[in-house]
Structure 1
Amino acid sequence: AQPVDSAPTPAQVAEVGRLLAGAQRPLVIAGGSRWTENAVASLHVFAETFALPVAVTFRRQMLFDHTHPNYAGDIGLGINPKLVALVKDADVILLLGGRFSEVPSQSYGLLGIPETGKTLIHVHPGAEELGRVYNPDLAINATPGGFLDAVAGLEAPASPAWAGRAEAAHAAYTAWSEPPATIPGDVQMGAVMSWLRDTLPDDAILTNGAGNYATWIHRFWRFRRFATQAAPVCGSMGYGLPAAVAAKLLHPERDVVCFAGDGCFQMTGLEFGTAVQEGANLIVLVIDNGMYGTIRMHQEREYPGRVSGTALTNPDFAALARAYGGHGETVERTEEFAPAFERARASGRPAILHVRLDPEALTPNRSLSDIRAAGRQR
């Protein structure tokens, strides 16, 4: 049976129009589930009609085209400080489909609880979620598509008070999402991400699990289309490879690229055998820095120099791919990545590219040594 769509009442639609018309600094935050390709397209039209900046929540980046002039960025881990300011400055927030839970809310720090300190329009397909954490000024039990279909007839103000805010927010996102020129080591992940952005088609599906390596996707990949992202919102290590197998079997004609840290990959790495067995010709990028990077980052920040249980002794991941009958190559320098990726695509087999990243390159902006030094100054 198909899930039932729910929609706002005419009175609720009119109230949405009234609240937006009276806004000075409105913001749309899209997230959650029950989205469809048509709903995403409708959100684009709604944002354009009302000149609204649109942000998305943690790992829901496929809900809005990142090159669209109304896109403001993702509200998740490692958030753009200018996007934090945009949320805090907003006087009307349309929270569409999401719950605004711990990660997007920045540990429940962006909005007041239960009174948000703003005018909150909360649209959610689960009635039990409305009012559970935040007291909305207008609560609407509706799916994203049902809501957007209902408000499609609203007329936008001729001269909105917030004119230009969407463009400014998008400019801030664009600057934030430019990869860094240099990081420690011989593999420059900024250059890798730029090459992938220029090479992969808009319908390529990217998957990942949990770890600092995922920052390279979330901050620097520009999602363009719906159904191009599969990633956990609950910190599940190892999620990326099984998700990529499923995605490739469902969409064999599309490029499917799994990002995995070395520790993340080893949680479910044997599923590469499933990919070979089922002919799911995905490409896995194992970003290997020899450690559980996120946990190490927290150790160095809170207890600098006191490292416990985060070092890893890894296999030769490229050899593992070949042992399964797949394609495997090792990338130790930036210039080796592009030709290795193209050979993996042309191989007609599932592939692993073992990308050796310098342990110092713990985040795009701060090295391991920087984090340790900052921890000692606390």
Structure 2
Amino acid sequence: WKELAKLSDGPIQFECDSAPDSDGYCHPASVLQALSDARMDCNGTDKVSREAVIAVDVGDVTLWASLCLRLTAGSRTLYSEHLGTMGYALNAAIAGILARDGPAGAVVLSGDAGFQMTLVELATFQQMKRDGDKLLCVVFDNQVMGRVAFGFENAAGCDVGGPDYVALAKAYGGDGVLLDDSRKAPQVVRDALIKEGLYIVHVKVDPQVKADMASFKDNSLKVMNSG
């Protein structure tokens, strides 16, 4: 990364295909842009949100996060990398909270399929949390395992059903909000970051939006030829 950065006149940037949203859907890039902005704007009085661990799950969300999420100095990001373990993010986030002196916070970035693989651990957080701990779960619900569906021709078994994640949060004693409009993302994310305890942002994503629609921006050719 440092070598790539030296080849660019400024920070390496990417372009994502932010096609106009279909009615009733929110683009993942809008959410991650809002999250990046909100975390950078956190002042000294909101240390828990500013220092929250970011836990990224496996799937389309991994690509969206790598392309669209901007991190502040000192930010810690947890992800499964080469193991590709779906369901990893929720467990990592809870561990990232409880391993630190309280209160502490974490943000889970997960697709709907990965989140459902370990959502029972929400009970673990509710049982183990301390006063002031924050667990913000952003669930990108496109009802498909995109890395498989988009990556292999005629792949079967990729459709994903799922619950009302706001109702799920409430069932576990937390709260949440449905986000189905990109224009609402900045305010919804800012409000979510200040919530204590368990909070889920249920993001409705167009199933046709592919996470691999991205290209380098600015000094692109020079960076890409760096190997």
Identical aligned residues as a percent: 25
Tell me the C-alpha RMSD between the 2 structures: 2.3
Q: Distance in 1 between matches of 2:9 and 2:93?
A: 30
Q: Distance in 2 between matches of 1:223 and 1:345?
A: 15
Aligned to 1:292: 145
Greater CA drift, 184-193 or 318-327: 184-193
Q: Secondary structure at the match of 1:169?
A: coil
Aligned to 2:65: 217
Runs (4 or more) in structure 1 with deviation over 6 Å come to none
Q: Secondary structure at the match of 1:344?
A: helix
Q: Distance in 1 between matches of 2:150 and 2:177?
A: 28
Q: Distance in 1 between matches of 2:19 and 2:57?
A: 25
What is the TM-score normalised by the length of structure 1? Answer: 0.48
Aligned to 2:192: 344
Q: Distance in 2 between matches of 1:183 and 1:295?
A: 24
> Structure 2 vs 1, CA of residues 322 and 315 (structure 1 numbering), >3 Å: closer, same or farther?
same
Please report how far the alpha carbon of residue 189 of structure 1 lies from its aligned counterpart in structure 2 after TM superposition.
2.4
Aligned to 1:335: 183
Instruction: Give the AA of the match of 1:334.
Output: S
User: Contact 1:276 / 1:350 at 8 angstroms: preserved in 2?
Assistant: yes
Aligned to 2:91: 242
Q: Distance in 1 between matches of 2:125 and 2:166?
A: 15
User: Contact 2:30 / 2:185 at 8 angstroms: preserved in 1?
Assistant: no
Please report how far the alpha carbon of residue 253 of structure 1 lies from its aligned counterpart in structure 2 after TM superposition.
4.3
What is the TM-score normalised by the length of structure 2? Answer: 0.77
Please report how far the alpha carbon of residue 314 of structure 1 lies from its aligned counterpart in structure 2 after TM superposition.
1.0
Aligned residues: 198
Please report how far the alpha carbon of residue 224 of structure 1 lies from its aligned counterpart in structure 2 after TM superposition.
3.4
Aligned partner of 1:281 among 118, 124, 134: 134
User: Contact 1:231 / 1:240 at 8 angstroms: preserved in 2?
Assistant: yes
User: Contact 2:105 / 2:135 at 8 angstroms: preserved in 1?
Assistant: yes
Q: Distance in 1 between matches of 2:127 and 2:9?
A: 44
Q: Which of these two proteins has the greater Rg computed from alpha carbons?
A: 1
Q: Are residues 1:262 and 2:121 paired?
A: no
Q: Distance in 1 between matches of 2:187 and 2:206?
A: 21
Please report how far the alpha carbon of residue 196 of structure 1 lies from its aligned counterpart in structure 2 after TM superposition.
1.5
User: Contact 1:179 / 1:194 at 8 angstroms: preserved in 2?
Assistant: no
Please report how far the alpha carbon of residue 226 of structure 1 lies from its aligned counterpart in structure 2 after TM superposition.
4.3
Q: Are residues 1:190 and 2:43 paired?
A: no
Q: Distance in 1 between matches of 2:166 and 2:67?
A: 27
Unaligned runs of at least 5 residues, structure 2? 41-49, 215-227
Structure 2 counterparts to residues 107-122 of structure 1, below 5 A:
none
> Structure 2 vs 1, CA of residues 365 and 184 (structure 1 numbering), >3 Å: closer, same or farther?
farther
Question: Which structure has the higher relative contact order (CA within 8 Å, separation 6+)?
Answer: 2
Unaligned runs of at least 5 residues, structure 1? 1-28, 30-53, 56-70, 73-165, 367-378
Q: Distance in 2 between matches of 1:170 and 1:283?
A: 35
